[in-house]
Amino acid sequence: MQIRADLHVHTFYSDDSIITPQDLVFYSKKRELTAVAVTDHNKIGSALAIAQQTDFLIIPGIEVSSKDGHIVGLNVNMPIPRGRSSEETVDLIHKAGGIAIACHPFALFKNSLSRHVTAKFDAVETINSSSFPFKHASRKAQEVAEKFNLPRVAGTDAHYGPVIGCAYTVIDADLSVESIVKAIKIGRCKPCGGSLPLRLRLENQSRFVKKYLRNK
């Protein structure tokens, strides 16, 4: 079957997101996704906990702050330490049973991998709806995916519910996490969608400001 999955979403277990587990499922269904990856910063527990709470297919993930830039691990079953080299981080993700995605490799202001993308990765996130400048970052990501002949995926990097699903990956797989990651690894996937509309970008930011003021 064809799976539609946003492969890069943060929940309120990431300090910078306001997406509750309920929002996550609500907006994923509203956008007609069939699965969604939870990729909170440097933690796996939130994704595993949310996966237990719902029948909707949650792909447990993590976004690791490696020394060389952000790396998304999908289907990891243990925590991955931050601050290691990109190479070591990819190895640790593989040891944890997961696949390593070079997320937003050329976006500005996002701690991007840039020249640290290598053939060791399992896929490149060629569409990241929140990346800036969107067109340039997407084109460079596309080029590096071609250079290393790596599968291409898409995600929103959502920190605010309505953003979920603006980009998604169509995957030729069964409705299970194992099947989805296997299919991505062999390139049976296609990135879809695009940049956040300006309204969502602005709302996203005003939400951050409100959250910041509330927490002060």
Q: Which residue is nearest to Zn ion (CB)?
A: 70
- Candidates 4, 31, 43, 70: give the one binding Zn ion (CB under 5 A): 70
The answer to whether the peptide bond before residue 105 is cis (omega within 30 degrees of 0) is: no
What gap in Å lies between CA 131 and CA 147, rounded to an integer? 21
- Write out the binding residues for Zn ion, residues 106-135 only, by CB under 5 A: 110
| 68 is a site residue for Zn ion (CB under 5 A) | no
| 6 is a site residue for Zn ion (CB under 5 A) | no
| 84 is a site residue for Zn ion (CB under 5 A) | no
Nearer to Zn ion, 105 or 151 (CB): 105
| Tokens at 139, concatenated | 């084109």
| 63 is a site residue for Zn ion (CB under 5 A) | yes
Q: Where are the beta strands (DSSP E) in the chain?
A: 2-9, 35-38, 57-66, 69-74, 99-102, 123-128, 152-155, 167-172, 189-193
| 43 is a site residue for Zn ion (CB under 5 A) | no
Dihedral pair phi/psi, residue 27, rounded to 5°:
-75, -30
Site residues, Zn ion (CB under 5 A):
63, 70, 110, 157
